Amino acid sequence: MKRTNFMEYLDGMEKIDSNIMECVFNEMKSYDYTIYTKKDVISVLNKDYLNIDDLKILLSPSAQNFIEDMAVKAKTETMKHFGNSVCLFTPLYIANYCENECIYCGFNCKNKINRGKLSYDDIEKELKSIAASGLKEILILTGECRSQSNVKYIGEALKTAKKYFTTIGIEIYPVNSDEYAYLRKCGADFVSVYQETYDTKRYEEVHLSGSKRVYPYRFNAQERALIGGMRGVAFGSLLGLSDFRKDAFAAGVHADLIRRKYPHAEISFSLPRLRPYINNAKNNPNDVHETQLLQVMLAYRLFMPYAGITISTRERAGFRDNVIGMAATKISAGVSVGVGGHGEDTKGDEQFEISDPRSVREVCDSIISKGLQPVYSDYIYV
Please give the full DSSP string across 98-148, using - where no structure is assigned.
Answer: ---EETT-TT-TTS-----B--HHHHHHHHHHHHTTT--EEEEE--S-TTT
Q: Which domain holds residue 184?
A: 20-84+95-126+145-307
For residue 349, being part of any structural domain is answered with no
Higher pLDDT, 113 or 259: 259
> What's the number of domains the chain is made of?
1
Residue 270, pLDDT score? 95
Whether 74 is covered by a domain: the verdict is yes
Q: Counting beta carbons within 10 angstroms of the beta carbon of residue 344, is it exposed (0 to 12), middle (13 to 18) or buried (19 or more)?
A: exposed
**Would 138 be classed as within a structural domain?**
no
With respect to residue 348, please indicate whether it lies within any of the assigned structural domains.
no
Beta carbons of 362 and 369 less than 8 angstroms apart:
no
CATH number of the domain at 25, please: 3.20.20.70
- The mean pLDDT value of the chain amounts to 92
Residue 104 pLDDT: 87
The pLDDT confidence band at residue 344, using thresholds 50, 70 and 90, is low
Q: What is the pLDDT of residue 108?
A: 83
For residue 380, being part of any structural domain is answered with no
| pLDDT of 17 over the 60 cut | yes
Give the Å distances, CA to CA, from 91 to 120, 127, 138, 194. 17, 10, 6, 16
Position 193 in a domain: yes
Tell me the percentage of the chain whose pLDDT exceeds 70: 91
Is residue 284 included in any domain, yes or no? yes
311-343 tens-digit pLDDT? 988 899 999 999 999 999 999 998 777 786 666
Least confident of 55-64, 66-75, 213-222, 275-284: 275-284
What pLDDT score does 313 carry? 86
In a domain, 376, yes or no: no
Which region among 45-54, 295-304, 317-326, 341-350 has the lowest average model confidence (pLDDT)?
341-350
Q: Are strands 167-171 and 266-270 parallel, antiparallel or unpaired?
A: unpaired
pLDDT digits (tens, 9 = 90+) for 270-300: 999 876 655 555 555 457 999 999 999 999 9
* pLDDT of 105 over the 90 cut: no
d(CA 252, CA 276): 26
pLDDT of residue 1: 44
Q: What pLDDT score does 334 carry?
A: 85
DSSP β-bridge partners for residue 101: 209
Predicted local distance difference test score (pLDDT) of residue 343: 60
- What pLDDT sits at residue 352? 55
List Cα–Cα distances, 29 to 56, 153, 271, in angstroms.
12, 41, 22
What pLDDT shows up at residue 2? 56
Distance (Å) of CA 13 to CA 110, 224, 225: 24, 11, 14
Looking at the predicted structure, is the pLDDT value of residue 348 above 60? Answer: no
pLDDT value of position 381: 63
pLDDT at residue 285, as a whole number: 46
Per-residue pLDDT of 82-94, as tens digits, reads: 999 999 999 999 9
